[in-house]
Amino acid sequence: MNITLLVQFLALIDEMRSRDEIVQEFERVLDRYGFDYYGIVRQPKPDENPLSLLLAGRWPDGWPQIYIKKKYVIIDPTIRYLGHAQRGFRWRDTLVAFRSDPHRKRMERMMVEARGHGLYDGYIFPVHGRRGLLGNMTLGGRVVDLSPVEMSLFDAIAKKIFWRLLELSDPTVLADMVSSVDVQMTRREMEALHYLADGMTSNEISRILDISTHTVDWYMNGIQEKLKAKNRHHAVALSFRLGLIS
């Protein structure tokens, strides 16, 4: 184990003044651990090119192009599992969670193709903020076994290096990510929102709150306006991201 190396990097990263200095030192740490490839990236949407959101990384020749061309980001089990994870996990452990998924065969083909490019196994560490999952740090290549302590330290590094690189590369995006969430809702609006998130209709909510469906719809319109949501489904999604409901 190289725990001292990880602790030293965590202690020094705030003192490093440039992106190149941080990346160079981080890659030195990864080389000592035996990781061939890595990526530090802002969380992509299904229609976004992950490379356009990359803060730092190195990948096998041709693999990013294959990943994008075949739209693997949509079915990638590590990315899908990431949405539920609070801490880092191993790539190979994710397929178990999707054993009955209709896209299971395509996931397996993606994993086989990845191994063909030298990505035999790896780890991924989520980065969360007030607006939900914001990005991740991925380490991979040869098989490397990390201890629980090392996993915790890499988790801490993922968060530290993500925010530090974002600060140095795109302060405008950083300012938007850390901006405060200022959505003021009434008690009734919050109650209606929670019931909506449970899948209830206006009629069901009206019976529980003992109000008319017209009043429920009025609350819903107010919620959508405050969240700048396109519809009720969008309002629920934004509420989860903003931490208004859980």
pLDDT digits (tens, 9 = 90+) for 173-198: 555 655 555 678 888 899 999 999 99
Least confident of 60-69, 102-111, 129-138, 205-214: 129-138
Topology classification of domain 187-242: Arc Repressor Mutant, subunit A (1.10.10)
Domain ranges of the chain: 3-178, 187-242
Phi/psi at 18 (nearest 5 deg)?
-135, 160
Query: What is the torsional sign of CA 236, 242, 245, 246?
Result: positive
Q: What is the CATH number of domain 3-178?
A: 3.30.450.80
Q: Tokens 């019931």 map to which residue?
A: 195
Could you tell me which of 51, 50, 57 has the C-alpha nearest to residue 19? 57
Q: What is the pLDDT of residue 90?
A: 97
What is the mean pLDDT of the segment spanning 34-49?
Answer: 83
